Chains A and B, each alone.
Chain A
Amino acid sequence: MSTDNQTPSADDADPASDAAELQALRERVDELEASLSELDDGDEQQKLTIVATQGSFDMAYPPLILGSTAAAFGWDVVVFHTFWGLDILHEEKSKNLKLSAVGNPNMPMPNALAAIPGMDRMATRMMEKKIDENGTATIEELIDLSLESGVDLQACQMTIELMDYDEDDFYDGVTTGVGAATALQHMAESDIQLLV
């Protein structure tokens, strides 16, 4: 630093104005530091919001697996279930979720065969058998685990009414009475947002 640090300027001659400016700057720095430390405080716990829109057997797994695993990491997890995704939380419907054989290129059968009545049921049974053999958890087990570990499973109120469901139809511990605004609020606060 040079010893000659007096830059000539218009307010150079006015020490009172300099002092006031310095004071204002100091206050501004304090303010910014305070808001920074607030941000740091909120950074401790990761937050994940998943929006689950699909209710087929296979699509029920990703949100439940990611949600329960994130909870095991100690994250704050919200899964907002809307449209067909709501069936995952429906106690009765969740036990009868189907895998679609039609239009599913992963199925070892042509669409013409897959469209025969009963094929979805068969495909689902085959998948359930594989899941059992592989030691993969059932949908019900994953829901219980998720709720147990503090995952907030939310049922979209609009969809509940649209589908003529009742709030008692859902697993105990499921949050009802929430809508898009709640979901958006959680998404805005989250580090990770996923649409499944």
Chain B
Amino acid sequence: MSSEYDATETLDVKGQSCPMPIVKTKQAIDDLESGDLLEVVATDSGSMSDIQGWAAGTSGVELLDQVEGDDLYTHYVKKTE
């Protein structure tokens, strides 16, 4: 996948539905360092709204971008703290 972002790590949650994309994203972010960028690749269309809501309600993370492709939803979450 071509992307303008240089992700530190990619989390593949394709085929998994709510709440897995969120819960796995949280776990992956916990394992990263401040300043790292996590790319989350999901097939769950609900992840667009869910990741946005999660990032807005969680301190120490910033949602940089969300890309909607063919049945593929890619999220870029930066760990800020």
Contacts and interface: CB of A to CB of B under 8 A. Distances in A.
Interface of A: 65, 68-69, 71-74, 134-137, 145, 149
A72 B25 contact: yes
A152 B25 CA distance: 21
A135 B15 contact: yes
Interface residues of B, number: 17
B17 A135 contact: yes
A137 to B, nearest CB: 6
Contacts of B26: 71-73, 149
Given A74-B58, A74-B59, A149-B27, A69 B22 contact: yes
Contact of A65 (B19, B27, B57): B19
Contacts of A71: 23, 26
B20 interface: yes
A136 B15 CA distance: 9
B7 interface: no
11 contacts: A65-B19, A68-B19, A68-B23, A69-B54, A71-B26, A72-B23, A73-B58, A74-B58, A134-B17, A135-B16, A136-B18
A71 to B, nearest CB: 8
Given A68-B19, A72-B19, 15 more contacts: A65-B19, A68-B23, A69-B19, A69-B22, A69-B54, A71-B26, A72-B26, A72-B54, A73-B26, A73-B57, A74-B58, A135-B17, A135-B20, A135-B44, A137-B19
